[in-house]
A and B are shown apart, each in its own frame.
Chain A
Amino acid sequence: MTGSPVELGMREAVTLAHVLTSSVARQNDIRLLSIKGPTLAAHGLRDDRYYADADVFVDPSRLNDFVALLNARGWVERFERPTARILADHSVTLVHPLWPCDIDVHWYFPGYFAAPQDVFDMLWSRRMSMPLAGASIVMPDLTASASIAALHYLRHPHSSRHQEEMAELTRRLIALGDQRILDDLLRLAERGGAPDAQADFLMSLGLSVPDLSFDPVHRAQWFAYVETHDDGSTGAWLLELGGVGWRAKLPELWRALFPSSAELRAAHGGVEMSLGERTRTRLSRIRKGVRAAPHAVMVLFSIRRAGMPPVAASRDTRRGG
């Protein structure tokens, strides 16, 4: 009958991971919000269902401290190859050999174009506590949770699952019948610099976004991002190549197409790959890039045709705090 170490189910793991992260943050005076997953269900913004990871939003200025604390508990960063991006990297993914779920530690959320620290402070000012698993977590209030969820769904406009989730979120917000919540969503979008990303969502709620709230650079960045990032980094690499001088293009192209052996090894959990495996991986990467390139080029041309400002590739800016 004595308890024994256990193989966690996904639901158990995600629930406990939210409580664990909240507890570690609280014990170390780090501000942290649980987002998405069970917090949306708690607000009635979606059904309680299967979750694959635990998402948290940490005070950007304490990101390194928080990750180090989880490192001390056996959670390690999943390797991610440094790459060109249209919008800067936004989270660290942590994995643990005994836990089936990841913990995604966000320090900013794509679609909020205000400064990451300002966005976090804004969301933190709307925090509330929720009992979970015999303990408690801190999460954004209903409006802020809806705003984050909308940005998450809007990042994948061509995914039928995310389209359905977006429709469900919109339906549930309207069903609340509370205009104050909808007006609050608009204010939050404006303060967080999200009107360009959320324009269609806000309009579907019957809200009219003032023209002054839009920013053509943000709109172009968001459009380029959502239209290309599901196909990998091809769009971002093309932007990066377009932004460097002729002499730098070839080395940059080489870097885009041929990850180093060290990068490949790190991406495969530190396991050495044979020459054949490395070659197959590189060829597969090139095939994927070639397949994605025509669409990415079309997107980048359409931005130019629409008279939007040029979009620049972003380098990883994480750990800035």
Chain B
Amino acid sequence: MYMKAVRPVSYADTWIHAPDVAWTSDESRVVVLDLGREDAVPLALEGSGSAIWLALDGVMDTAAIIDSLSTKFDVPRSEIDFVVVTFLRDLRRRGLISLQGVHGDEASHRGGRGARL
């Protein structure tokens, strides 16, 4: 499994789908394909994973995504905080998402609200 080293996720990070990634969605799930790798296989994101993917609009930062999911699934923010951050880090390690406005991996280490995870 392809994984790259990435810096910790910040609450202030704003995310976009990586440019070489194709994805399609329906009511139940999102299927993602990394077009840049010969050995890539399609990955399915379901439930909250699908909701997070669809929230990566280049506008909402990590904190806003957590707030949005907290409201959508009616669960306390504290219960999903870690899960969302871990998921974003995993997507980034797989090269499926990028930081908005940051060209090249780990080009900067921006400050943010709250703790780094």
| A interface residues with partner B (beta carbon < 8 Å) | 1-6, 8-9, 11-12, 15-16, 19-20, 23-24, 72-73, 98, 132-135
A-facing residues in B59-102 (Cβ within 8 Å) = 83, 87, 90-91, 94, 96
Q: Is the CB of A12 within 8 A of B43?
A: no
In order of increasing CB-CB distance, the 10 nearest A-B pairs are A3-B43, A6-B44, A23-B35, A19-B22, A1-B49, A133-B22, A135-B22, A133-B24, A134-B23, A15-B24
Q: Nearest chain B CB to A120's CB is how many angstroms away?
A: 23
Residues from chain B with a CB closer than 8 A to the CB of A9 are 26
Q: Is the CB of A6 within 8 A of B17?
A: no
Q: Nearest chain A CB to B49's CB is how many angstroms away?
A: 4
22 contacts between A and B (CB under 8 A): A1-B45, A1-B49, A2-B90, A3-B91, A4-B44, A5-B44, A6-B41, A6-B42, A11-B24, A12-B24, A16-B22, A16-B24, A16-B31, A16-B33, A19-B22, A20-B33, A23-B22, A98-B41, A133-B23, A134-B17, A134-B22, A134-B23
A-facing residues in B12-66 (Cβ within 8 Å) = 17, 20-24, 26, 31-33, 35, 38-39, 41-45, 47-49, 52
Q: Is the CB of A19 within 8 A of B33?
A: yes
Residues from chain A with a CB closer than 8 A to the CB of B47 are 1
Report the Cα distance A12→B43, complex, angstroms.
Answer: 11
Q: Nearest chain B CB to A242's CB is how many angstroms away?
A: 47
Q: Is the CB of B41 within 8 A of A1?
A: no
Report the Cα distance A114→B50, complex, angstroms.
Answer: 48
Residues from chain A with a CB closer than 8 A to the CB of B38 are 72-73
Q: Is the CB of B49 within 8 A of A3?
A: yes
Q: Nearest chain B CB to A230's CB is how many angstroms away?
A: 33
Among A1, A6, A132, which residue has its beta carbon within 8 angstroms of that of B31? A6
Q: Is the CB of B42 within 8 A of A5?
A: yes
Report the Cα distance A2→B44, complex, angstroms.
Answer: 9
Residues from chain A with a CB closer than 8 A to the CB of B26 are 9, 11-12
Which residue of B has the minimal Cβ distance to A23?
B35
Q: A6-B41, A23-B22 are in contact. List 12 more A-B contacts (CB 8 A).
A: A1-B49, A1-B87, A3-B32, A3-B94, A4-B44, A5-B42, A12-B26, A12-B31, A16-B42, A72-B38, A134-B22, A134-B23
Q: Is the CB of B17 within 8 A of A8?
A: no
Q: Nearest chain A CB to B41's CB is how many angstroms away?
A: 5
Which residue of B has the minimal Cβ distance to A2?
B90
Which residue of B has the minimal Cβ distance to A137?
B22
Q: Is the CB of B87 within 8 A of A2?
A: yes
Q: Is the CB of B21 within 8 A of A134?
A: yes
Residues from chain B with a CB closer than 8 A to the CB of A5 are 41-44
Which residue of A has the minimal Cβ distance to B45?
A3
Which residue of B has the minimal Cβ distance to A15?
B24
Max chain B CB contacts within 10 Å: which of A3, A6, A9?
A: A3
Report the Cα distance A2→B83, complex, angstroms.
Answer: 10
Report the Cα distance A2→B33, complex, angstroms.
Answer: 14
